Amino acid sequence: MAIVRMKKMKLVGLSKEKELILDVLNKCGCCELKDSEEIENTHTRLNTNRLTKTAEKLSKLSFGIDFLTEQKNERILLAKKEQVEYVPPKKPLVSVRKEVDFDQFIGSNKEEFEIFANIDSLEKIEREMVGLRSESVSLYNKITTFISFDSLDISMNDVKSTKNTTMYIGSVPENAVKVIEEINQLELATAVTLKKETSALQIFVVCHKDISEEVGDLLNQNSFVRTNIESDSLPVEEIEKAKERILAIGNELIALNGDAMSKFHNIEDFELLFDYYSYKQEKIEAQGTFMRTERELAVAFEAWVPKDKCDFVKDAVLEKTNFVEIEFHEPQEGEMPPTLTNNGTVVKAFESITNMYSTPSYYERDPNFSVMIFFTIFFGFMVSDAGYGLLLAVAGFTALKFLKFENSLKSMVIIFALGGLSTVFWGLLFGGVFSIEISGTIFEKFYWFSPLDNPIGVLGLSVGLGILQILYGMVMKAILLIQRGRALDAILDVGSWFVLFTGIGFFAGSLIPGFEGLADVGKYTSIAGVLMLVLTQGRGEKGLFKKIFKGVGSLYGLMNYLSDILSYLRLFGLGLATGVIGMVFNTIGGVFIELIPIPVVGHLIAIAFILIGHAMNIGLALLGAYVHDCRLQFIEYFGKFYEGEGRDFKPLGSNTKYVKIKQIKNKIIKEN
């Protein structure tokens, strides 16, 4: 398992064939375009007009997909309310992108006129829906307004002053109720409360012209707000008409939803065309970096190609055109090619964990194999129940056998399935099988010791595993230094710490039952490591005193390493917690059986409680194991050697959202 060596492809071809060449490279699936180096008497040009038109088409397609998806969800809700009949198509348990042939993908724009016509009709439906919903909101606001005056037996337009009277209709604050009494005490005035609301009173006042000024002053003093509503109908009639219209709008929206759903069968065509135009956009942007001759008869560009695919790519291009010149070169000093690994399916799954931290640099060793080993071991140690592990492994491998997954989800399933196997291993060693006593069972033959009976042993094992990973990290660092021509630094700077921590590891191992004899080995090995550090870490200083002083000072680095080692105690803590929590649920289940005298009822309640409890315990254990396992890799392990800061290899046309393009086979690899 290593990082694939890359070569830089330089290609010169006819400008009129650039689209053809790019399609061939896409079909190969192993070429990542890069910014071209400047060439004398050439220029670059980005076709912004084509780019804009492509972006507009992508926007329309995105609208069509999102709108149809939204209307399907709306249809499901309407069916649940029994307003329409609709049986949604069955969804697969796990959704994966549809695979299409490259020729089908490239030719997907042949029917685009009909597709965009369908989207235009969907846009019309959407505009009608927006208008109806806007009208519905206005009607609800109208109802809210008129409902305050629903006790009024005249229309709002009839509320107006006459030759001898003045009328007021509006609202006052709730605490201004006294104004009603004050007005009614006047001889030629009447005030009534139409509606009492949360924070206001809706009132109607009639008075003689002679006292209208006095009444108006009273109302203004109490923050009266006149209502300016125009209507020739009674408020209750307006409310009823609004409700009828809202009901009609609802039916119209349902009908429009049906019109939209009549085009739902086109959504796959929308998605395919969306990916086609995404690829087209990628090509247009890439062509903006191509070096063009003065009259643009020829273009030149560069791409990263895996070393073992160079002949394959060249043959594929020459099969389509002879008017090209192709050269392959090693990366120049200072260039950072993209990172592509040649790991198998299992190790590749753990790239998702490594890449969460950082993609490996092209110039360093691939850490994913070691991440797979340590992550799997630690995961099982932290869950450490063979019953839980068996469930996890069976579920994971069964899913991998019978279901199709996208790469990211497939990686997670593989990680947890392997973690399940590791959990079975550690669970059998520690006697953990659903936290049940295993004495006298078939599991007893695998039993090593119980973490509850010998916590110090588990503690020592946790520290030992941690030291083992740190030592492996040191080895990786030493290899990297040797590759860079710094073999002496690898021996003295890394090797000295390696010897010291090997000794500490032996000490930790002596805590494990049966390995007590490692204590003396650990003592002498540790002393040797300390002496190596003291005698070598100051080799760059002048003068014996400075050399020894810096050598002794280097031992302070032991604190950082010890801090890292202590982080591995989380293996001990989480592993112990899983077993203890499981035992608690089993014990409480037994209490239910004893407390409930009816045998069947007591056992059923106990079984239900235990199943729910263990389900919760599994969930917490898996979450804790995954999160803390990642932390150990990222901080304690990667901190010893890993540089990262690479970037993933992204071939032309690989950034599709809805479909997968079937790539042509590599004839060279096939022949080998």
Cα–Cα distance measured from residue 355 to residue 533, given in angstroms and rounded to the nearest whole number: 34
Predicted pLDDT of residue 540: 64
Residue 103 has pLDDT above 80, yes or no: yes
To which residue do tokens 């921590």 refer?
501
To which residue do tokens 């936290």 refer?
435
Contact, 408 vs 391, CB < 8 A? no
Cα–Cα distance measured from residue 273 to residue 112, given in angstroms and rounded to the nearest whole number: 8
Of the candidates 397, 388, 402, the one whose C-alpha atom is nearest the C-alpha of residue 418 is 397
pLDDT single digits (tens) 566-619: 888 888 888 888 888 888 888 888 887 777 777 788 788 888 888 899 999 999
Name the pLDDT band for 537 (thresholds 50, 70, 90). low
pLDDT single digits (tens) 282-318: 999 999 889 998 888 999 999 999 999 999 999 999 9
Please report the sign of the dihedral spanned by the C-alpha atoms of residue 632, residue 637, residue 643, residue 648: negative
CATH of 1-44+290-340+650-672, one of 3.40.190.10, 3.40.50.10860, 3.90.550.10, 3.30.70.120: 3.30.70.120
Name the pLDDT band for 35 (thresholds 50, 70, 90). confident
Of the candidates 564, 585, 581, 560, the one whose C-alpha atom is nearest the C-alpha of residue 382 is 581
Please, which residues bridge with residue 127 across strands? none
Residue 242, both tokens: 């609004």
Name the pLDDT band for 670 (thresholds 50, 70, 90). very low
Higher pLDDT, 643 or 376: 376
Name the pLDDT band for 257 (thresholds 50, 70, 90). very high
Name the pLDDT band for 668 (thresholds 50, 70, 90). very low
Predicted pLDDT of residue 353: 93
Name the pLDDT band for 549 (thresholds 50, 70, 90). low
Contacts for 381 with CB less than 8 Å, ≥ 6 apart: 422, 426, 461, 462, 465, 571, 575
Predicted pLDDT of residue 669: 35
Lowest mean pLDDT among 234-243, 551-560, 565-574: 551-560
Residue 67, both tokens: 């709108």
Segment holding 100, helix H or strand E: strand 98-101
Residue 108 has pLDDT above 90, yes or no: no
Contact, 28 vs 306, CB < 8 A? no
Strand order in the sheet with 200-208: 189-196, 200-208, 165-173, 225-226
Cα–Cα distance measured from residue 327 to residue 585, given in angstroms and rounded to the nearest whole number: 68
Cα dist. 485→377, 480, 491 in Å? 33, 9, 12
3-state secondary structure of 588: helix
Q: Where are the domains of the chain?
A: 1-44+290-340+650-672, 156-230, 345-489+568-640
To which residue do tokens 């540790």 refer?
526
Same CATH fold, 156-230 and 1-44+290-340+650-672? Answer: yes
Residue 641, both tokens: 């050697």
Predicted pLDDT of residue 341: 92
Contact, 664 vs 383, CB < 8 A? no
Of the candidates 505, 554, 503, the one whose C-alpha atom is nearest the C-alpha of residue 529 is 503
CATH topology of domain 156-230: Alpha-Beta Plaits (3.30.70)
Q: Is this structure's pTM higher than 0.85?
A: no
